[in-house]
Chains A and B, each alone.
Chain A
Amino acid sequence: MENIAPISWKKSSKPHLFCPGCGHGIVLKQLGYAFDEMKIARDVTFGIDIGCSLLAWNFFDADTIQTHHGRTTSVMVGYKMAKPERIALAYMGDGGGYAIGLQALLHAAYRNNPVTVILVNNENYAMTGGQSSPTTPVGMVTSTSPNGKRAEFGKGLHGPELISEIAAPNAYIARVSISNPIQLKITLKKAIENQVKNKVFSFVEVLSICPTNWKTNAKESFEILREAEKLYPIKEFTKEKEVEK
C-alpha cells in the first residue's frame, strides 16, 4: 500500500524534482496519505516556503501558494482568517521557520492561530547549497561552517520546545522523524485534526535528510539522522504540557 502514490498527488508533476533520496519526498508522501485517509485534499490550502520546499508548488492536487522565504506562516494566518472553513497548512524548512520566519511562527503559536505548520528540519539551508542553519549541530561541516559548526553559534535550536513554551495548552506540537513514516503520518493527521476540530495552532517538526548537501549515501544519511534524533528528541509536546497542568 505504502508504495502506491497518494491519490492527492498531482500526477502531472511527477516524477517530482527533489533529489533522489531526499527527505522531503518522504514527508510529502506521508502528507499525501494523510490527505487521502482524511479525504481532505479538496479542503486543504497548502502554503509553501522558499527553500527546497518550493519544489512542491504543484505537488498536490490541492490549492497551493508559494510565498516568500519565511513568510508562509503569515500568509496562511491571513488566508485562514478569510477562509475559516478551509484547512491551512504552512510547509517550510528549518531556515524558513527558525531563522527568517521565526518571528511569524512564534507569534502564530502565541496567538493560537488555527493553522498547521509543518517544518522539515534537514539541519541546513539546502536550497542555497548547504549553509549552516539554526539547527545545524555543533561540528557539522557546511559551506558556512567549513571547519565544523562552532558551539558559539548555537548548539542547535529546539523549535518545538521553544514553541510549546508559549503555545496554548490545546495547541498540538510534536517532533517526528522520516525514519518512522507511519508515526510521521499519524502525527501529521493529528496536527491537521487539531486545526479542524479545535480550531487552534499545531506544529510538527520533521527531522529529515539532505543527501545532496550532506554528501552522504543512504546509509550515512540515516546515521546522521539517528544522531539528529538524539539531539532533537522525538515526542509530542502537547501531552507533556497537559500533564504539567
Chain B
Amino acid sequence: MTEKKLLLTGNEAAVLGAIAAGAKIMFGYPITPATEILQGWIGKADKSDELQYLQTEDEIAAGFGVLGAVLAGEIAFTASAGPGHVLLQDPLSMAENLRLPFVGIMMQRGGPSTGTVNFSQQEVNLAAFGGNGDGIRLVYSASSVLEMYTLTQEAFQMAWRYRFPTILLGDGYLGKMKTVVELPADRADVKAEPILKEVSESTNIRNCYSSEADLAEVLQKNLADWNHARKSLVLSESYELDGAETVIVAHGLVASAAKDAVSILRKSGVKIGLFRPITLHPFDTEVLKKAVAKAKKVMIFESSLNQLARIVKYELADQKVNYEEVSKPAEGFTAAEIIKAVKGK
C-alpha cells in the first residue's frame, strides 16, 4: 500500500482521520488546544459539498448536535478540551445510556477554566468515568501525530460497530506538534445507519424509565455488551517488555518520552520495558498482567495525579506489584527525567 508523506500537526491529522473515516458533520466551540480541529474541518468543509459544520453556542449544543446527527445515521463528531469536555459530559451520558456512537476528540489542558494548554493528562477520569453513568465509554489515548490520524479512524469505527460513545484523548501539545508523518493508505470502513429508522414501524427512543427494573434491564445489557466487546476493543503497545525487571506504564505523550528513555536505558543494559495502553478504557489488562508477572517494579508516569495509576491498580488488583508513581499534574516529561527517575536519582 502506498503511503502519503505529509508535514502535519496532531490537530490536522485528526481532521484528516475524521475525513478518512467518512465523518460528514462536525459540531464545535473554540477552545485551545483543540480549536485547530474545528478550523481545519471548516477549511475542508468549505471546499466540499459533502462535509458540513456548525459552530455552536457552547459545547452542550455541539455534543447534542452530534447526537442528533448520529440518530439520523450520519457520522458526526466534536472536539474540545478541559471545561468544554466537562460540558460534554451531558451529551456523553445520554450517548452512554442510549448507546449512541458519539465521537469526541479531547485535547487535554491544565487548569479549570483557562490555564496551560500544553501538557496535561488530567482528563482521563473525565473521559472514562465522567457523567452520571458507569463509564461505558471507549477511551483512546494518542501518543503521536500519526496516531491522531489512525486512532481518530479507529474511534469512529468502534463507536459505530459497538455503539459506545468514544473519546480520543491527546495531550494538548500533541495537537500543536508538527512532524512528518506517512499516512497509511488503509482507511476505516465505518458502517453508519439511521438509528431513528424512518420505517413504517416508528422508532420511539426513551431516556426515562418508570421503574428500577426497567432501567436495570438496559444497564445490564449495556454492561454485558461492554464486557463482551472488551477483548475486541483493547489496544496496547508493548516495548522491550521481554525480561523487563522494571515495567513503565505511561500513555500519550508521556509514553513517547518513556519509549525514548527505555531505548536509551536498554543500551546501557538496564532491563526495562514500556507498556503503553492505547485504550485507557477498556484496559488491556491481560497483556499488562503478563508483563508484570516477573517484574520487580512497575513505574507509572503521568501528567496527572494518579488518574492512570488508579486504573492500573484496579486492573492489577489480584497481582503482587511493587509500584512507584511519578505524577506531574499538567506538566510534561522528558526522556532524561524518566531515566533519572528510573535510576532513582
Residues on A facing B (Cβ under 8 Å): 10, 42, 45, 47, 50, 54, 57-58, 60-68, 71, 74-83, 86, 103-104, 106-107
A66 CA to B60 CA, complexed, in Å: 16
- The CB with the most chain B CB atoms within 10 A, among A42, A71, A74, A80, is that of A74
Given the interface contacts A86-B198, A103-B61, A104-B61, does A78 sit within 8 Å of B205 by beta carbon? no
A104 CA to B90 CA, complexed, in Å: 14
Residue contact B69 to A64, C-beta cutoff 8 Å = no
Chain A residue at smallest Cβ distance from B54 = A81
B68 in contact (CB, < 8 A): yes
Residue contact B208 to A78, C-beta cutoff 8 Å = no
Residues of A near B54 (CB, < 8 A) are 77-78, 81
Residues of B near A54 (CB, < 8 A) are 206-208
Name the interface size band of chain B.
Answer: 35 or more
Residue contact A58 to B206, C-beta cutoff 8 Å = yes
Residue contact A75 to B205, C-beta cutoff 8 Å = no
A71 CA to B200 CA, complexed, in Å: 27
Q: Can you show 14 pairs from A to B with CB atoms below 8 A apart? A: A63-B202, A66-B207, A68-B64, A68-B94, A68-B207, A74-B65, A78-B66, A78-B69, A81-B65, A81-B68, A82-B24, A83-B72, A106-B57, A107-B56
Chain B residue at smallest Cβ distance from A107 = B57
B27 in contact (CB, < 8 A): yes
Given the interface contacts A58-B204, A58-B206, does A63 sit within 8 Å of B198 by beta carbon? yes
Residues of B near A68 (CB, < 8 A) are 64, 90-91, 93-94, 207
Chain B residue at smallest Cβ distance from A78 = B68
Residue-by-residue, is B186-220 near A (CB-CB < 8 Å gives 1, otherwise 0)?
A: 00000000101110101111111000000000000
B67 in contact (CB, < 8 A): yes
User: Interface on chain A toward B: helix, strand, loop, or mixed SS?
Assistant: mixed
A106 CA to B57 CA, complexed, in Å: 10
Residues of A near B61 (CB, < 8 A) are 74, 77, 103-104, 107
Which residues of B74-131 have CB atoms within 8 Å of chain A's CB atoms? 74, 76, 90-91, 93-94
B242 in contact (CB, < 8 A): no
B236 in contact (CB, < 8 A): no
Residue contact A64 to B65, C-beta cutoff 8 Å = no
Residues on B facing A (Cβ under 8 Å): 24-25, 27, 52, 54, 56-58, 60-61, 63-69, 71-74, 76, 90-91, 93-94, 194, 196-198, 200, 202-208
Residue contact B68 to A77, C-beta cutoff 8 Å = yes
Residues of A near B72 (CB, < 8 A) are 45, 78-79, 82-83, 86
Residues of B near A75 (CB, < 8 A) are 64-65, 67-68, 71
Residue contact A64 to B204, C-beta cutoff 8 Å = yes
A57 CA to B214 CA, complexed, in Å: 15
Residue contact B74 to A82, C-beta cutoff 8 Å = yes
Q: Which of A45, A47, A58, A103 contacts B57 (CB 8 A)?
A: A103
User: Interface on chain B toward A: helix, strand, loop, or mixed SS?
Assistant: mixed
Pairs A-B, 4 closest by C-beta atoms: A78-B68, A78-B65, A79-B68, A82-B72
A80 CA to B64 CA, complexed, in Å: 12
A63 CA to B202 CA, complexed, in Å: 5
Residue contact A78 to B76, C-beta cutoff 8 Å = yes
A79 CA to B61 CA, complexed, in Å: 12
Residues of A near B198 (CB, < 8 A) are 42, 63, 86
Chain B residue at smallest Cβ distance from A106 = B57
Residue contact A67 to B196, C-beta cutoff 8 Å = no
Chain B residue at smallest Cβ distance from A65 = B205
Nearest chain A CB to B28 CB, angstrom units: 12
Residue contact B68 to A64, C-beta cutoff 8 Å = no
Residues of B near A78 (CB, < 8 A) are 25, 27, 54, 64-69, 72, 76
A60 CA to B204 CA, complexed, in Å: 9
Residues of A near B69 (CB, < 8 A) are 78-79, 81-82
A63 CA to B73 CA, complexed, in Å: 13
Residues of B near A65 (CB, < 8 A) are 68, 71, 196, 205
Residue contact B57 to A10, C-beta cutoff 8 Å = no
Q: Which of B91, B194, B208 contacts A50 (CB 8 A)?
A: B208
Nearest chain B CB to A206 CB, angstrom units: 22
Nearest chain A CB to B196 CB, angstrom units: 4
Nearest chain A CB to B79 CB, angstrom units: 15
Chain B residue at smallest Cβ distance from A59 = B204
- The CB with the most chain A CB atoms within 10 A, among B74, B196, B204, is that of B204
Chain A residue at smallest Cβ distance from B53 = A81
A62 CA to B205 CA, complexed, in Å: 11
A71 CA to B74 CA, complexed, in Å: 19
Nearest chain B CB to A148 CB, angstrom units: 31
Residues of B near A66 (CB, < 8 A) are 205-208
Residue contact B204 to A63, C-beta cutoff 8 Å = yes
Nearest chain A CB to B311 CB, angstrom units: 28
Given the interface contacts A65-B71, A86-B198, does A57 sit within 8 Å of B205 by beta carbon? yes
Residues of A near B91 (CB, < 8 A) are 68, 71
Chain A residue at smallest Cβ distance from B93 = A68
Chain B residue at smallest Cβ distance from A103 = B57
Residues of B near A103 (CB, < 8 A) are 57-58, 61
Q: Which of B24, B52, B64 contacts A67 (CB 8 A)?
A: B64
Residues of B near A76 (CB, < 8 A) are 68
A176 CA to B198 CA, complexed, in Å: 30
A86 CA to B203 CA, complexed, in Å: 14
